[in-house]
Chain A
Amino acid sequence: MIAYILRSLAQAVMVMLAVALLAFSMFRFVGDPVANMVGQEASVKEREELAERLGLNKPFPIQFANYVTDMARGEFGMSYRQGRPVADLLRERAPATIELAFLSSLFALVFGIALGVYAAINRRGILANLAMSISLIGVSLPTFLIGIGMIYLFAVELRWLPSFGRGDVVRLGWWSTGLLTESGRKSLIMPVLTLGLFQMTLIMRLVRAEMLEALRTDYVKFARARGIPERAISFRHALRNTMIPVVTIAGLQFGAVIAFAIVTETVFQWPGLGALFIQAVQYVDIPVMAAYLMFVAFVFVVVNLAVDLIYFAVDPRLRGTTVAAK
């Protein structure tokens, strides 16, 4: 198992290095970093000094190595547009996005699994079919339209929920959370639903399909023959065996959640990383774009590692085979 983890870690480092190379090429070759930092009226001498300080006169591999070590220490350079360290911007914005993405995934998992199991057990029920048809519509509607529709219904017409922002947030050290105030919690509802809906339908369909498969297997028939209650069969036997694909898809989808947070954050004017990234794209703020790219890659890599580890927890067979292989 340790060899397996080490191999996954090595792969993760390779992926991060590849993405760092991409980010660095963006920084180095899109536009002139020196001109972007000192402005128009800087003298030639000032420019040369800055180029020297940034290490732009050194050979490419050394520049890249410096760039990577800076990133590893959490230094992402200065934002061209805001004139502040990118690391500070990330730290300010990250809690909003992470909170949003995490809650959306949680919502998608809990409701997706519950509805999927329900739809599989009551295959011909009216509610199950309704849920399946609604999920079909949910898949073909663009995310931003779902968000706008919710704003119109719950904020404009019914006036139940705030239409933008995070509400009041509580600071816990450098982290800020909206979960501890009422307006913060209310503000979270619509963005979380908008962002989580697509993943929820995906997980629901997957769980339903896998459950239907599992309910046909011999071990389920055998469990029935032994007189085990139907509820226990569904949850302890069938559902457990659907968890591997569900964990895989949910893990892979976490990256998509982060990416679609860009859209959700724009619709709800959510002060997170996605909104920061959109601004950076509009104003060609390369250091911010590069840092965001690294952030997304980091999330991907961490989630993939976590999924690999969860396999061991869910599937006892995997633990067995690695021991046997030794």
Chain B
Amino acid sequence: MRAPTPTRATFSERLWKAWDSDVAYSFRHSPVAILATLVALILLLSAVLAPWIAPQNAFDAASLNLMEGFTKPGEASPITGKVFWLGTDSQGRDVFSAILYGSRISLLVGFASVIFSVAIGVSLGLLAGYTGGRTDALIMRVADIQLSFPAILIALLVFGVARGLIAPQYHEQAAVAVLIVAIGLSNWASYARTVRGSTLVEKNKDYVMSARVMGRSPLAIMGRHVLPNVTGPVLVIATINLALAIIAESTLSFLGVGVPPTQASLGTLIRIGQQFLFSGEWWILFYPALDLVLLALSINLLGDWLRDALNPKLR
């Protein structure tokens, strides 16, 4: 006779379980976490919905009116009489729209590079921890080297090498992808270290033994059995690294080696705005910078909260 299959929880039951969990409790009782989530969500949504909520398509030259250049924030343009909340830049581009479109690129590069480094870091960490021996020593040595060199330097080197390998006419199209790879490759080691550590603990447990006795392949054991049990800390590192990746992207774009001005990210906008700082047009730089700082800070605070909430020792 077969054992009765456990009935699946209905959606509302699962929702209640999630609401009732420890993590949700700690979330409801942390004003900082709620505020940070709110800010991050607003920034994220406004970036995703940019084409629908932005007053103008910021990077379509046809929608810009040169006559409206350098309009001060909140004031009507002296020539056309249009009001721009956050002002306009030298070409009459609405700073608010530019920020919405710019944070799209920043967030895209941030999320994609974190996913990329999680994929590399987690698989290398699993491999190192599960197989051990020489593979382990080699992978961890490379990870040590990555961790001892500053991430920004590695990202710049990867970027330069990638540019050398890609034909010049494709540089602009490939810029975002190259940026994702460069930032992703400079951040995988922390995941690899953590996952390797937890894998070393997990691999001697009985369920892994039994899977091995049942003749499952090492790949299946790593992927189906060990992996689900080592992902907890990865989420925390990924959240904090998301803020770091967004800052790294804006730094590279600020240095002029990131995305081209036709796909301006927040860093590019800050780079452009810096030129106008001396002539008194502070808003072209200030609002993108504010958006970047709020984004990085709220994600950082969220990461800090998550780390404490998932750490059973602090409960």
Question: A interface vs B, CB < 8 Å?
Answer: 26, 30-31, 140-145, 148, 151-152, 156, 163, 252, 255-256, 259-260, 262-263, 266, 277-278, 280-282, 284, 286, 289, 293, 296, 300
Closest Cβ of chain B to A14, distance in Å, is: 11
Query: What A residues does B300 contact at CB under 8 A?
Result: 140
Which residues of chain B (239-263) have a CB below 8 Å from chain A?
Answer: 243, 247, 250-251, 254-257
Closest Cβ of chain A to B312, distance in Å, is: 23
Interface residue from B148, B160, B247 paired with A300 (Cβ < 8 Å): B148
Given contacts A152-B277, A156-B277, contact A140 B297 (CB under 8 A): yes
Any A CB within 8 A of the CB of B16: no
Is B293's CB under 8 angstroms from A145's CB? yes
Seed contacts A145-B293, A282-B256; 4 additional CB < 8 Å A-B pairs: A30-B164, A142-B296, A145-B289, A263-B254
| Interface locus among B48-56, B96-104, B150-158, B187-195 | B150-158
Q: Which one of B164, B282, B292 has the highest number of Cβ atoms from chain A below 10 Å of its Cβ?
A: B164
Q: Which residue on A lies nearest to B299, using beta carbons? A: A140
A152 to B164, CA, bound (A): 36
Cross-chain pair count, CB within 8 angstroms? 86
Q: Which one of B156, B159, B160, B255 has the highest number of Cβ atoms from chain A below 10 Å of its Cβ?
A: B160
Is B152's CB under 8 angstroms from A281's CB? no
Q: Which residue on B lies nearest to A288, using beta carbons? A: B160
Query: What B residues does A152 contact at CB under 8 A?
Result: 277, 282
Is B278's CB under 8 angstroms from A163's CB? yes
Query: What B residues does A278 contact at CB under 8 A?
Result: 156, 255-257
Query: What B residues does A151 contact at CB under 8 A?
Result: 277
A144 to B255, CA, bound (A): 9
Given contacts A145-B292, A262-B255, A266-B255, contact A281 B285 (CB under 8 A): no
Any A CB within 8 A of the CB of B274: yes
Any A CB within 8 A of the CB of B149: yes
Closest Cβ of chain A to B165, distance in Å, is: 6
Interface residue from A140, A144, A148 paired with B251 (Cβ < 8 Å): A144
Is B257's CB under 8 angstroms from A255's CB? no
Is A144's CB under 8 angstroms from B270's CB? yes
Any A CB within 8 A of the CB of B161: yes
Is B160's CB under 8 angstroms from A284's CB? yes
A144 to B300, CA, bound (A): 18
A282 to B165, CA, bound (A): 13
Any A CB within 8 A of the CB of B307: no
Closest Cβ of chain A to B80, distance in Å, is: 29
Any A CB within 8 A of the CB of B163: yes
11 residue pairs of the A-B complex, CB under 8 angstroms, read A31-B164, A140-B243, A140-B293, A142-B296, A144-B251, A255-B148, A259-B152, A266-B255, A281-B156, A282-B257, A293-B157
Closest Cβ of chain A to B73, distance in Å, is: 16
Query: What A residues does B153 contact at CB under 8 A?
Result: 259, 262, 296
**7 closest A-B pairs (Cβ-Cβ)?**
A259-B150, A30-B164, A281-B160, A259-B153, A284-B164, A31-B164, A256-B150
Is B278's CB under 8 angstroms from A140's CB? no
Closest Cβ of chain B to A30, distance in Å, is: 4
Closest Cβ of chain B to A187, distance in Å, is: 16
Closest Cβ of chain A to B259, distance in Å, is: 13
Closest Cβ of chain A to B33, distance in Å, is: 16
Is A289's CB under 8 angstroms from B157's CB? yes
Closest Cβ of chain B to A248, distance in Å, is: 12
Query: What B residues does A140 contact at CB under 8 A?
Result: 243, 293, 296-297, 300
Q: Which one of B152, B157, B289 has the highest number of Cβ atoms from chain A below 10 Å of its Cβ?
A: B157
A259 to B164, CA, bound (A): 21
Closest Cβ of chain B to A31, distance in Å, is: 5
Interface residue from A30, A281, A286 paired with B257 (Cβ < 8 Å): A281
A141 to B293, CA, bound (A): 7
A143 to B243, CA, bound (A): 14
Which residues of chain B (164-193) have a CB below 8 Å from chain A?
Answer: 164-165
Given contacts A280-B160, A289-B160, contact A255 B149 (CB under 8 A): yes
Q: Which residue on A lies nearest to B250, using beta carbons? A: A142
Is A148's CB under 8 angstroms from B293's CB? no
Interface residue from B152, B274, B278, B285 paired with A262 (Cβ < 8 Å): B152
Is A281's CB under 8 angstroms from B254's CB? no
Closest Cβ of chain B to A262, distance in Å, is: 7
A141 to B290, CA, bound (A): 10
Closest Cβ of chain B to A199, distance in Å, is: 12
